[in-house]
């Protein structure tokens, strides 16, 4: 049996992943025989990952840091300084988490230390509200408006005297819509007078829309009840290494750091530190994401399907079919797409894989449902 070197594992992993057998491979063989450009691996179009993986710079950093895996700690101070500089805030405004998920959980925990409620959009990303619900908070879910945009007026009306936190994902997920920047800024400033406001900006790097604005400026301005979250899981392709960031007033950062329960991953930290400085890879990812989006959005337009303009690395469109059926048929053909998102049970969330994989997705969708 041959022995794989450490470098071969790091830099040759794509070949191993591509050879993984999954249900539906026999059908993929038939699809290729019928002239479809079917791949020989499962297309992961359901979890909003970066299909290109970490950058080569990040992989090199992992390789060089492997011998440090026996050590606790790491480069927390250096990472905090780098991220603060990139976002024009102080290092005292930055908390580092085991993925942004840890920041979400910690905020949910802080909000649940007193009996009360949390207001969020519906549908939206569930990590924070799920964790807070388990910790005892009541979750008030506010449906998106007719344009499938987070309804700030309805959210404001839903806030009660016992509401401890308002949670906003911008761009939203599973609906890749955004909130106009001035309306959001005014809302956050008003609501944060009396409670925490958490803005989850996991996909902000993908936005190319003049109506969008990050709320990071409010952190720099010193507002005490606002938290912004970012992650290395998406554009940086480090979802499995769990590195994320929370930005807030220094006193709130102290509370977040005190309540965290995770352990930072030394390999992930070195990878993220390298990747955040690798602007070329970020530009490459954005370019390829736009290419994949154009392929899928072209199909949606040609078939006359209702959808939401994407401001992220996924699309959300109405299939006209039970999404469970759509998901099962796509999986049979080697494509994994997003789970159902009630109440939108005929809508499909499709993450952008590589352009050639999305061309196969379009071929398959048209054949099955077009």
Residue 13 sits in a domain whose CATH number is 3.90.1150.10
The residue with tokens 């925990």 is: 109
Q: Are residues 289 and 264 in the same domain?
A: no
Q: Are residues 23 and 99 in the same domain?
A: no
Q: Are residues 141 and 23 in the same domain?
A: no
Q: Are 123 and 174 in contact (CB under 8 A)?
A: yes
**pLDDT, tens only, 78-104:** 999 999 999 999 999 999 999 888 888
**pLDDT, tens only, 22-76:** 444 455 565 665 566 667 789 999 999 999 999 999 999 999 999 999 988 789 9
In a domain, 19, yes or no: yes
Looking at residue 344, its pLDDT comes to 97
Q: Are residues 38 and 161 in the same domain?
A: no
Q: Are residues 218 and 104 in the same domain?
A: yes
Mean of the pLDDT values across residues 327-351?
96
Q: Are residues 206 and 331 in the same domain?
A: no
Compute CA distances 166 → 134, 138, 169, 187, whole Å: 17, 12, 10, 11
- Is omega for the bond preceding 255 within 30 degrees of 0, making it cis? no
User: Is the pLDDT at 340 greater than 50, yes or no?
Assistant: yes
Q: Are 216 and 208 in contact (CB under 8 A)?
A: no
Task: Give phi and psi for 108, each to the nearest 5.
Answer: -60, -40
Give the total number of structural domains in the chain. Answer: 2
**pLDDT, tens only, 118-150:** 999 999 999 999 999 999 999 999 999 999 999
In a domain, 315, yes or no: yes
Looking at residue 54, its pLDDT comes to 96
Torsion region of 49: left, alpha or beta (phi above 0 gives left; psi -120 to 50 gives alpha): beta
In a domain, 265, yes or no: yes
The 10 Å CB-count burial string (b at 16+, else e) for 195-229 is: bbbbbbbbbbbbbeeeebbbbbebbeeebebbbbb
In a domain, 90, yes or no: yes
**pLDDT, tens only, 160-194:** 999 999 999 999 999 999 999 999 999 999 999 99
Q: Which of 229, 260, 275 is the last residue of a domain?
A: 275
How high does pLDDT run on average in the chain? Answer: 90
Looking at residue 11, its pLDDT comes to 40
* Residue 114: burial class (beta carbons within 10 Å; 0-12, 13-18, 19+): exposed
Looking at residue 33, its pLDDT comes to 58
Q: Are residues 137 and 106 in the same domain?
A: yes
**What is the spatial distance between Cα 281 and Cα 206, in angstroms, rounded to a whole number?**
13
Looking at residue 227, its pLDDT comes to 97
Residue (of 219, 167, 154) closest to 195 by Cα position: 167
In a domain, 214, yes or no: yes
Looking at residue 121, its pLDDT comes to 98
Q: Are residues 167 and 120 in the same domain?
A: yes
In a domain, 354, yes or no: yes
User: Is the pLDDT at 3 greater than 60, yes or no?
Assistant: no
In a domain, 316, yes or no: yes
Q: Are residues 333 and 215 in the same domain?
A: no
Q: For position 209, which CATH number holds?
A: 3.40.640.10
Q: Are residues 120 and 64 in the same domain?
A: yes
Q: Are residues 197 and 247 in the same domain?
A: yes
Residue (of 247, 22, 233, 261) closest to 131 by Cα position: 261
Q: Are 229 and 104 in contact (CB under 8 A)?
A: yes
**pLDDT, tens only, 254-274:** 999 998 888 888 999 999 999
In a domain, 1, yes or no: no
Looking at residue 51, its pLDDT comes to 96
Q: Which of 275, 297, 328 is the last residue of a domain?
A: 275
Domain that holds residue 65: 57-275
Mode of pairing for the β-strands spanning 226-231 and 244-247: antiparallel
Looking at residue 68, its pLDDT comes to 92
Q: Are residues 308 and 328 in the same domain?
A: yes
Looking at residue 260, its pLDDT comes to 87
**What is the spatial distance between Cα 237 and Cα 115, in angstroms, rounded to a whole number?**
37
Q: Which of 251, 275, 299 is the last residue of a domain?
A: 275
- Is omega for the bond preceding 343 within 30 degrees of 0, making it cis? yes
């Amino acid at each position: 049996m041959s022995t794989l070197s450490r470098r071969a594992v790091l830099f040759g992993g794509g070949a191993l992943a591509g050879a993984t057998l999954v249900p539906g491979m026999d059908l993929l063989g038939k699809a290729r025989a019928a002239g479809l450009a079917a791949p020989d691996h499962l297309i992961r179009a359901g979890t909003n990952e970066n299909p290109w993986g970490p950058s080569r710079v990040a992989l090199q950093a992992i390789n060089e840091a492997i011998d440090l895996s026996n050590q606790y700690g790491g480069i927390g101070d250096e990472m905090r300084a780098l991220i603060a500089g990139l976002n024009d805030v102080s290092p005292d405004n930055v908390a580092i988490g085991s993925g942004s998920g840890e920041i979400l959980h910690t905020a949910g925990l802080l909000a649940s230390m007193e009996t009360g409620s949390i207001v969020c959009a519906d549908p939206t990303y569930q990590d924070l509200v799920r964790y807070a619900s388990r910790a005892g908070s009541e979750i008030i879910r506010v449906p998106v408006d007719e344009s499938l945009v987070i309804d700030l007026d309805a959210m404001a009306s839903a806030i009660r005297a016992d509401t401890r936190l308002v949670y906003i994902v911008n761009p939203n997920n599973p609906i890749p819509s955004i909130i106009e920047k001035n309306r959001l800024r005014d809302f956050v400033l008003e609501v944060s007078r009396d409670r925490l406001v958490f803005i989850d900006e996991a996909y902000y790097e993908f936005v190319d829309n003049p109506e969008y604005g990050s709320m990071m400026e409010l952190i720099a301005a010193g507002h005490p009840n606002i938290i912004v979250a970012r992650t290395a899981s998406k554009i940086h392709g480090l979802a499995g290494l769990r590195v994320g960031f929370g930005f807030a007033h220094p006193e709130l950062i102290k509370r977040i750091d005190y309540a965290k329960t995770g352990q930072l991953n030394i390999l992930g930290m070195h990878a993220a530190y390298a990747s955040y400085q690798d602007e070329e890879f970020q530009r490459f990812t954005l370019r390829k994401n736009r290419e994949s989006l154009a392929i899928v959005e072209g199909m949606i337009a040609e078939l006359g399907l209702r959808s939401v303009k994407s401001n992220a690395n996924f699309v959300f469109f109405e299939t006209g079919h039970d999404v469970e059926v759509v998901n099962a048929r796509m999986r049979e053909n080697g494509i994994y797409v997003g789970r159902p998102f009630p109440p939108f049970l005929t809508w499909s969330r499709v993450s952008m894989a590589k352009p050639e994989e999305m061309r196969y997705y379009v071929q398959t969708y048209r054949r099955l449902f077009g």
